[in-house]
A and B are shown apart, each in its own frame.
Chain A
Amino acid sequence: NAGVTQTPKFQVLKTGQSMTLQCAQDMNHEYMSWYRQDPGMGLRLIHYSVGAGITDQGEVPNGYNVSRSTTEDFPLRLLSAAPSQTSVYFCASSHPEMNTEAFFGQGTRLTVV
């Protein structure tokens, strides 16, 4: 059982470039979310989705777009990368009930130069 898979694991971008971080889960979870974690800090929510076709903004959504066309996939798009987006990005999935656990991917370490 693969769980939550993020690709790539590492990425270096130049300022202004765009890219998509991939996230896939095989647990049939309706709820998926993206977080970023800056050095020495806790995770901050970027965007989340409660099901296919439904997305919403989290705490720090600016500069990022998401879509959810299938239950399994929840890609995060950086439209025009900036050095302030240098961070480690984590994707998570869970069932929507409050008493269920969330599963996290291993993260994508992004550096924008």
Chain B
Amino acid sequence: DAKTTQPNSMESNEEEPVHLPCNHSTISGTDYIHWYRQLPSQGPEYVIHGLTSNVNNRMASLAIAEDRKSSTLILHRATLRDAAVYYCILIVRAAGNKLTFGGGTRVLVKP
């Protein structure tokens, strides 16, 4: 399975932006980059996904490097509710639509 590498944890102050990096050096041209997050005691929820271009939605932005070997999830103004574990996942065509979760990045938001 395609592997991603994320920092174990990050801290941010409330109302400040959070940049969550993800390395995926083995990505191939047809693999999608997905981000999910898991709030405490809840199931994962979808955040955003992209293929080549940067993407924005109401929750976050996704910046994808030109060589696609890394990406960054950007939370523009962190709130206490954004404290969660964030998972960067590659969707590999050969593996169907399976999600392979790594350890993720635990985000702590300080008031």
Interfacial residues, chain A to chain B (CB-CB below 8 A)? 4, 31, 33, 35, 41-45, 48, 50, 58-59, 90, 92, 94-107
Contact = CB atoms under 8 A, between A and B. Distances in A.
Nearest to A33: B98
Contacts, number: 62
A61 to B, nearest CB: 13
Interface string B79-111: 000000001000101001111111110000000
Contact of A98 (B42, B45, B97): B97
A100 B97 contact: yes
Contact of B45 (A58, A100, A104): A104
* Category for how many chain B residues contact A: 20 to 34
Contacts of A107: 42-43
Interface of B: 30-32, 34, 36, 42-46, 49, 51, 87, 91, 93, 96-104
A58 B98 contact: yes
Given A104-B44, A107-B43, A99 B32 contact: yes
Contact of A43 (B44, B51, B91): B44
A6 B77 CA distance: 33
Contacts of A106: 42-43
Contacts of B34: 101
Looking at B36, B44, B91, B97, the one whose CB has the most chain A CB atoms below 10 A away is B97
Contacts of B99: 33, 43, 45, 92, 102
Given A90-B43, A90-B44, A102 B97 contact: yes
A59 to B, nearest CB: 8
- Identify the 9 closest CB pairs spanning chains A and B, nearest first: A104-B43, A101-B46, A42-B101, A43-B101, A98-B91, A98-B32, A104-B44, A90-B43, A96-B97
B43 A42 contact: no
A45 B43 contact: no
Contacts of B101: 35, 42-44
